[in-house]
């Protein structure tokens, strides 16, 4: 096949990718969109097999390619089909890592094989090496933190961290200049990769659990930019187009997540919350004598004759895997003629859209999953709000207390509903490390316990009543 035909096929594949992403603008068209994307990928791979470089290389090259694809596909399919849906943040982190790593490897492979690379190739190789390595190691650290394997969920900070990161970045760039001026000495590229890898680790360890949505979105963007850089290495349009689409996607999600926390990207990346001024209110002062503890039986009685209930899922719901029980509870209430909706905060959970996936898994109709801006005006007409495993995203201090560290963060206004039931293991603070006046409010009842068990008890109590 001539290179013109290959390039035309790449063009078709790029268009399919764009239509594929556009399909994701609505749940009805999303499955088809994903299939279009996959079709585009298949076309691009088929066309590449007919490239002179591969076609001319003979059977041995085909054999290796087939072997690599079969191996990768087996691992990928196993991961995708086995993973728990609650573990999606980890899965996405892992996929980010592989995308970034592949880009850095390909750039290195091209540099080694090219006797006399152009300046464009050399510069792009350095970019791929830096971005790809940061993505790979940063995503692995994110994966580790989400799984709680080696590193803690909380931010890991030490004195001089920013200076060290700055020095590493300068070193990587310096080595990059050496690669461009002397592409034949491959050690310089290895140096770029090593330093950037270290930087990837150090940039991600200060990011704490609840800031993970931002980190994952940003790493998603990097994996796209790494692919685009590799596109410049190979002078290949489809890599550039696709990489920049994904880069843009990740950046948009990053901005959305930062806005939902009312924090700047720099602030999130430095991993410092509650340090940037603002006094932390004393927990005892807020809670003392005001917290009302309730039981399943008492909550069950609350639902007598009410018309509207809103459920607020938080990360605690994901941890206790209570999504199916919550859906059962909602079904039970609905069978009594009560209107039930879910209020989804943009940063609830550990990645963008985390709670939506969780509730969709439990077979909840997506029309009932309401975005913050859509549901906030309706809390005043809500009889009972049930908060499950969420804290900072329903903290009215963000709205009322200008001196609070989370002041200005958009929250779900559950405190405006007639009664609030908070299902939580204890009064311990959320990620922001601050007490929540909601728990001491007159209209709030605290229902202590594990999310799943508490909901099960509640269902039993309602059935008994």
Active site residue 392: yes
- 183-222 residues in contact with another protein (CB under 8 A) are 216-217, 220
Give 91 or 456: the residue with its C-beta nearer to another protein. Answer: 91
Closest CB to another protein among residues 56, 305: 56
C-alpha 204/C-alpha 161 separation (Å) is 12
β-strands 444-448, 339-344 pairing:
unpaired
- The CA distances from residue 301 to 63, 84, 379, 436, in Å, are 68, 35, 20, 25
Of 234 and 461, nearer to another protein (C-beta) is 234
Query: Using the rule CB under 8 A, is 224 a contact of another protein?
Result: yes
DSSP code of residue 380: G
Tell me which stretch binds another protein (CB under 8 A): 156-164, 251-259, 385-393, 411-419.
251-259
Cα–Cα dist 252/217, whole Å: 8
Neighbour count for residue 61 (Cβ, 10 Å): 14
Q: How far is the CB of 158 from another protein (least distance, A)?
A: 30
Burial 62-99 (b: 16+ CB within 10 A, else e): eeeeeeeeeeeeeeeeeeeeeeeebbbbbbbbbbbbbb
Question: Is 41 an interacting residue with respect to another protein (CB under 8 A)?
Answer: yes
Cβ proximity to another protein: between 365 and 442 the closer is 365
Task: Please identify which residue in 285, 365, 442, 464 interacts with another protein, judged by CB under 8 A.
Answer: 365
Selected from 24, 156, 319, 461, the binder of another protein by CB under 8 A is 24
Estimate the crossing angle of helix 88-113 against helix 59-82, to 10 degrees: 160
In whole angstroms, how close is the CB of 255 to another protein at the nearest point? 10
Describe the strand order of the beta sheet including 339-344 as a list of residue ranges: 369-371, 339-344, 308-313, 384-388, 419-424, 444-448
Which residue number, 34 or 295, has a Cβ lying nearer to another protein? 34
Q: Residue 6 or 406: which CB sits closer to another protein?
A: 6
Alpha-carbon gap, residue 304 to 294, rounded angstroms: 16
Using the rule CB under 8 A, is 332 a contact of another protein? no
Burial class (CB in 10 A: 0-12, 13-18, 19+), 284: exposed
Least Å distance, CB 418 to another protein, is: 27
The sign of the torsion formed by the CA atoms of 178, 179, 184, 187 equals positive
Catalytic residue among 7, 328, 365, 392: 392
Q: How far is the CB of 53 from another protein (least distance, A)?
A: 5
Contacting another protein within 59-118 (CB under 8 A): 61, 64-65, 68-69, 71-73, 75-77, 79-81, 83, 85, 88, 91-92, 94-96, 98-99, 101-103, 105-106, 108-110, 112-113
Q: Which residue in the set 129, 138, 316, 346 belongs to the binding site for another protein (CB under 8 A)?
A: 346
Residues facing 309 on adjacent strands: 340, 384
Consecutive H or E run containing 12: helix 3-23
Q: How many CB atoms lie within 10 A of CB 438?
A: 22
Residue 322 CB, shortest distance to another protein, in Å, is 17
CA distance linking residue 304 with residue 307, whole number of Å: 9
* Touching another protein, residues 293-312 (CB under 8 A): none
Structural contact between residues 381 and 308, judged by C-beta atoms closer than 8 angstroms: yes
Of 194, 234, 283, 291, the residue at the interface with another protein (CB under 8 A) is 234
Within positions 43 to 62, which residues make up the interface with another protein, using CB under 8 A? 44-45, 48-49, 51, 53-54, 57, 61
Q: Which of 130, 175, 245, 317 binds another protein (CB under 8 A)?
A: 245
Q: CB of 436: closest distance to another protein in angstroms?
A: 24
Site membership for another protein, residue 265 (CB under 8 A)? no
State the Cα–Cα distance between residues 260 and 462, nearest whole angstrom.
35
Name the residue nearer to another protein (CB basis): 151 or 360. Answer: 360
Number of residues that bind another protein (CB under 8 A): 111
Question: Is residue 151 a contact residue for another protein (CB under 8 A)?
Answer: no
What residues are labeled active site?
392
């Amino acid at each position: 096949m001539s290179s013109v035909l290959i390039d035309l096929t790449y063009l078709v594949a790029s268009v399919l990718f764009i239509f594929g992403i556009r399909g994701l603008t609505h749940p009805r068209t999303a499955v088809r969109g994903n299939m279009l994307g996959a079709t585009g990928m298949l076309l691009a791979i088929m066309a590449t097999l007919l490239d002179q470089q591969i076609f001319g290389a003979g059977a041995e090259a085909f054999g290796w390619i087939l072997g690599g694809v079969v191996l990768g596909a087996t691992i990928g399919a196993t991961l995708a089909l086995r993973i728990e849906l609650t573990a999606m943040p980890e899965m996405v982190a892992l996929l980010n890592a592989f995308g970034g790593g592949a880009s850095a490897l390909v750039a290195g492979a091209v540099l080694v094989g090219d006797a006399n690379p152009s300046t464009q190739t050399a510069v792009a190789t350095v970019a791929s090496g830096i971005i790809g390595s940061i993505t790979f190691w940063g995503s692995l650290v994110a994966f580790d933190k989400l799984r709680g394997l080696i590193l803690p969920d909380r931010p890991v900070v030490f004195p001089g961290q920013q200076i060290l990161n700055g020095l590493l970045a300068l070193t990587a760039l310096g080595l990059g200049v050496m690669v461009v001026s002397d592409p034949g000495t491959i050690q310089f590229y290895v140096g770029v990769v090593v330093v950037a890898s270290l930087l990837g680790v150090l940039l991600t360890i200060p990011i704490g659990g609840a800031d993970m949505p931002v980190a994952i979105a940003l790493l998603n963007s990097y994996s796209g930019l790494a692919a685009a850089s590799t596109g410049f290495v190979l002078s290949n349009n489809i890599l550039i187009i696709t990489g920049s689409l994904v880069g843009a996607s990740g950046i948009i999600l990053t901005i959305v997540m930062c806005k939902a926390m009312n924090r700047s990207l720099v602030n999130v990346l430095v991993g410092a919350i509650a340090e940037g001024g603002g006094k932390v209110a004393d927990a005892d002062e807020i809670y003392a004598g005001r917290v009302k503890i309730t039981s399943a039986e008492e909550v069950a009685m609350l639902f007598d004759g009410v018309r509207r209930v809103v459920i607020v899922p938080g990360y605690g719901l994901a941890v206790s895997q209570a999504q199916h029980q919550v859906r059962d509870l909602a079904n039970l209430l609905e069978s009594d003629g009560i209107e039930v909706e879910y209020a989804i905060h943009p940063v609830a959970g550990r990645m963008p859209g985390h709670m939506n996936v969780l509730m969709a898994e439990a077979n909840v109709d997506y029309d009932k999953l309401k975005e913050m801006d859509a549901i906030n005006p309706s809390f005043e007409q809500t009889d009972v709000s049930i908060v499950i495993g969420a804290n900072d995203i329903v903290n009215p201090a963000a709205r009322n207390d200008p001196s609070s560290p989370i002041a200005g963060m958009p929250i779900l206004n559950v405190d405006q509903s007639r009664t609030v039931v908070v299902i939580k293991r204890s009064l311990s603070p959320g990620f922001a490390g601050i007490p929540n006046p909601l728990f001491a409010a007159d209209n709030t009842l605290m229902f202590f316990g594990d999310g799943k068990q508490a909901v099960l008890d509640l269902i039993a109590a309602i059935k008994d009543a």
